Structure formats: C-alpha cells, structure tokens
Amino acid sequence: MVRFGIIGYGYWGPNIVRNIHGISPEKVVAICDKSEKNLARAKRAYPDVHVTADASELLTNPNIDAIAVITPVWTHFDLARQALQNGKHVFIEKPFTATAAQAAELIELAEQKNLTIMVDHTFLFTGAVRKIRQLVDDGTLGKLYYYDSMRVNLGLFQHDVNVLWDLAPHDLSIVDYLIGREAEAIVATGSGHLNGLADVAYMTVYYPDNVIAHLNVNWLSPVKIRTTLIGGEKKMLVWNDLEADEKIKVYDRGVNINSAEGVYEALVSYRSGDMYSPKVEATEALKLELAYFIECVKSGQRPFNDGQSGLRVVKLLEAAETSLKRKGEMVYA
C-alpha cells in the first residue's frame, strides 16, 4: 500500500486525489493547501482525509509514503527536497523545477535515498500519445521529419510564468518521448502584450538528422486549437486532441524524390492513398499514470517519466527562455 500526502488542492490537485481514491481509496492520508476555500472543498468531498494548511505536517508524517506536489513551479524544489530528505517518494507537477540545477539536485538526492521521482507529464499516458508512440516505434511513420504543434487558447494567464513555461512542457515531453534523442539547439521567439510576460511564443527545437520540432503556444487566441502534425518518410499524421472520436488520422501521403534530369523536370512525385483513424484508448490518462507511479514505488522500477525526463524538459525551457529574451538567438541545449 502506498500512502499519499497531497500538497496543492487548487485546479489539478482534486484530480490527483479523485484518481488515487479510485485506485485504492485508503491511500490518501492528508491534503494540504494554503487556501481556506480549497481546504473546505477537500473536507466536504473527502470527510475522512486530514486537511491542513501546513505542508510540514505531511512532509514529516511517518504514515505517508509518497508526496504529490501539485503547486506552482517556484515551490517545487523546496517541497520535493524536503519530501525526499524525509524518505518519501515524489509525484510532481510539470514542469519539474524552475531551473535545471534544481532538477539535478533532486535527482541526485532521490538516487542517494533510493526513492522514486515521477514528473506528471500526463499527456504521455493518453491513448493518443501512446498510439502515436506505437506508430513511431513500429515503423509505420518511417523516419521522422518533423513535429509541429499548435496549442493556443484564450488564457489562463499565469502570474509567475510566461506562456512557454505554461504550455510548452506538454509538447516538449511528448517530443522527448517520441524522438528519444537530445536536442541540438533551440530558437524561441515571442511577444508580450499585457503584463510583460510573453503571451505568444514560438519555439523551434533542432534534433539530429534534420528532425525538427516546432511549438506554437498562445494565451491570446480567440479559439482553442490543439493540433499537431507529424511528418514521416512513410506516412504522416494529424493529431487533433479536441476531436471526440477521431483524434488521430494517419495519412498514406508523402513525397518521392526522383533523380533529377534537369532543373525544369519534375524532381518529385506525390503519393496519396487512404487515411485511417485508429481507435484510441479512452481510459483517463491520469489514472493510468498514478497506477504506474504506485507500481514503480512498489517494485523499485524506474519510471520512464522520471526526474531525468523532467530535467530534459526543464533544460529546453531554460534554453527557450534565454533565446526568447535574445529575440531568437540560437541556444545550444
């Protein structure tokens, strides 16, 4: 049995609690939040769970095995460090930490203590991303050409981070998961129109072998768009996460380059065949992820979305932030 303490019961925290509750109800021992209102909500929904505004109660509680840190990013390092120091496993919101240095320190601490860190890159557990990974791994798409994501909507504005830190971690963790290689360079551009923080931003990540990822994140869009194009040598894919039923479409389309016979001759031919939309597993991603966390804690297995995975995303964010400030100057990741 894994006994949880939950720190942070704002927007996302209740989903964590509800899912742990669903897997094994007895395991949420205590919930902590700074807000009286949030604590009252927690109390009403889970009368048997201890609630408190004092995080140290959870961090030092010997009846708690794992701490879920569901708080703003600037508080992550301190809370996770204390949890690890007190021998507790850590399930932590993305982005992992505010700096790469913090992430590295937490990883080392967890290794010394032989504890599990899992960074909550929930998207990696969705049916859609797991299906895409499968289509990459089994060679359906062929060699990858590009990953191009548009993730825009109206708000929500954050007070402490710009749109990159808010929205880009989703795609950065997915790209990391699909490509499995270190980025070579980062270029980020963008602009802020309201409170000084970038609310519109674009990010290009160069990977080896001409693989390129591009992210378009925007808090000032009148419409919500969640569309990703993935180009491969053999097939190409469109992932529209807002579609209820046909989230992924795989196109038998592509280009063949012929040997050139002259600048005026056709060098390329197009291939255009059927499209198909594979059925995507509908189980709630967070439920699968938390079950996986519990399994990793019990077995000592290292999760694939571990601290290292979180660190790689934070490094890319740091580099993007630097590039953004320099108006697109390339930063080596």
Q: Which of residues 256-275 bind a second copy (CB under 8 A)?
A: 257, 260, 263-264, 267-268, 270, 272-275
What residue type is 172 in one-letter code?
L
34 vs 302 by CB, closer to a second copy: 34
Displacement of CA 222 from its chain's centroid (Å): 24
Site string for a second copy, 82-121 (x = CB under 8 A): ----------------------------------------
- 97 touches 106 (CB < 8 A): yes
* Of the residues 1, 36, 138, 223, which one makes contact with a second copy according to CB under 8 A: 223
Contact region with a second copy (CB under 8 A), list: 82-90, 175-183, 206-214, 293-301 = 206-214
- 157 touches 301 (CB < 8 A): no
- 216 touches 149 (CB < 8 A): yes
Closest CA to 164 of 272, 38, 73: 73
* 278 touches a second copy by CB under 8 A: yes
Positions 33 through 72 that interact with a second copy (CB under 8 A): 47
Which residues 6+ apart lie within 8 Å of 223 measured at CB? Answer: 152, 153
Positions 167 through 186 that interact with a second copy (CB under 8 A): 185
* Of the residues 56, 210, 283, 301, which one makes contact with a second copy according to CB under 8 A: 210
Classified as helix, coil or strand, 330 is: coil
Q: How far apart are the C-alpha atoms of 333 and 164, rounded to whole Å?
A: 16
Residue with tokens 């949030």: 38
Positions 224 through 243 that interact with a second copy (CB under 8 A): 224, 229, 231, 233, 235-238, 242
41 vs 88 by CB, closer to a second copy: 41
Q: How far apart are the C-alpha atoms of 123 and 313, rounded to whole Å?
A: 14
CB 218 → a second copy: shortest distance, Å? 7
Alpha carbon distances (Å) from 314 to 27, 169, 215? 30, 8, 15
Site string for a second copy, 125-164 (x = CB under 8 A): --------------------xx-x-x-x-xx-x-xx----
Site string for a second copy, 297-326 (x = CB under 8 A): --------------------------x--x
95 vs 307 by CB, closer to a second copy: 95
110 vs 205 by CB, closer to a second copy: 205
Closest CA to 7 of 63, 44, 57: 57
Q: How far apart are the C-alpha atoms of 152 and 200, rounded to whole Å?
A: 9
By CB under 8 A, how many residues form the interface with a second copy?
A: 74
